[in-house]
Amino acid sequence: MRRYQLTADPRQLPKLSLRTEGVTGPFVGEQLHNIAPGATVPVIYRAAGGATLTPFRWGMVYNRRQARSIRAATLFSEAARHLRQPCLFPATGFYEWEFGLDGQPYLFQLREGAGMFLIAGVWQLWQSPHGPVRTAAAVTTRPNEMLAQLTDRMPVILDAAGALAWLERPEFDHCAAVHRGRLEAIPISPLINDPENNAPRFIQRVPGRRRGKPLW
């Protein structure tokens, strides 16, 4: 997952009984159409008192490395046991770019009302030169049939029950790709390539340039 969007208030997520901790900033009351790694984003993690929504930096820092995402197969290897501090990214869509054809970008959203969903993640506390920073990476898995036309991985998308189970105890079995029929692929303008382009006009549907079988 290279970019994603959050155009709904994450405090309104149902069935998670969220506490909020320092949730102020551009992601409260404002639509974020083009979130890039390095941004401060709202993330849900398990703290004293239950599921807590708080600002994190997207890009998990560990062993002097930074990762915007980590494959489930890697995460659940024995060597990566120390990285399994679970969290969740609220999102309303994510972006992928087509191989070839000048990289046609697509926005992927849930078909049923383009609503908010949750992406599995893991986090680490980074001791930065300016103090401790919570950092997080999305967890990815093998793509479903539709996304396999573009990429070799996709984010792990969880429903409310799966999200609670992930926070309680992350397991490899939670990392099954979302069903093909639940996602819609929307071809959008290449202007989304610039992270500074954060407005609805940059994600309007454009005529798809794909040759052969369409993505939807």
Say what the pTM is: 0.88
Low-confidence winner among 21-30, 97-106, 154-163 (lowest mean pLDDT) = 21-30
Kindly tell me if the per-residue pLDDT of 44 is higher than 80.
yes
Domain total of the chain: 1
Kindly tell me if the per-residue pLDDT of 195 is higher than 60.
yes
Q: What is the spatial distance between Cα 167 and Cα 158, in angstroms, rounded to a whole number?
A: 11
Average pLDDT estimate for 124-139: 93
Where on the phi/psi map is residue 136: left (φ > 0), alpha (ψ -120 to 50), or beta?
beta
Q: If pLDDT is split at 50, 70 and 90, which confidence band does 103 have?
A: confident
Where on the phi/psi map is residue 37: left (φ > 0), alpha (ψ -120 to 50), or beta?
beta
Q: Evaluate whether residue 50 is within a structural domain.
A: yes
Length of the chain: 216
Average pLDDT in the chain: 83
Q: If pLDDT is split at 50, 70 and 90, which confidence band does 77 have?
A: very high
Q: Are 52 and 22 in contact (CB under 8 A)?
A: no
Q: Evaluate whether residue 10 is within a structural domain.
A: yes
pLDDT at 79: 85
3 state SS of 108: strand
Q: Are 154 and 2 in contact (CB under 8 A)?
A: no
Alpha-carbon torsion angle 88, 131, 1, 192, nearest 10: 120
For residue 156, the domain's CATH number is 3.90.1680.10
Both structure tokens of 81: 């046991």
Alpha-carbon torsion angle 159, 165, 169, 175, nearest 10: -30
Q: Evaluate whether residue 209 is within a structural domain.
A: no
Q: Evaluate whether residue 208 is within a structural domain.
A: no
Q: Evaluate whether residue 113 is within a structural domain.
A: yes
Q: Evaluate whether residue 42 is within a structural domain.
A: yes
The domain containing residue 44 runs over which residues? 3-203
3 state SS of 118: strand
pLDDT at 208: 65
> What percent of the chain is modeled with pLDDT above 90?
39
Q: If pLDDT is split at 50, 70 and 90, which confidence band does 125 have?
A: very high
Average pLDDT estimate for 119-148: 92
pLDDT at 216: 43
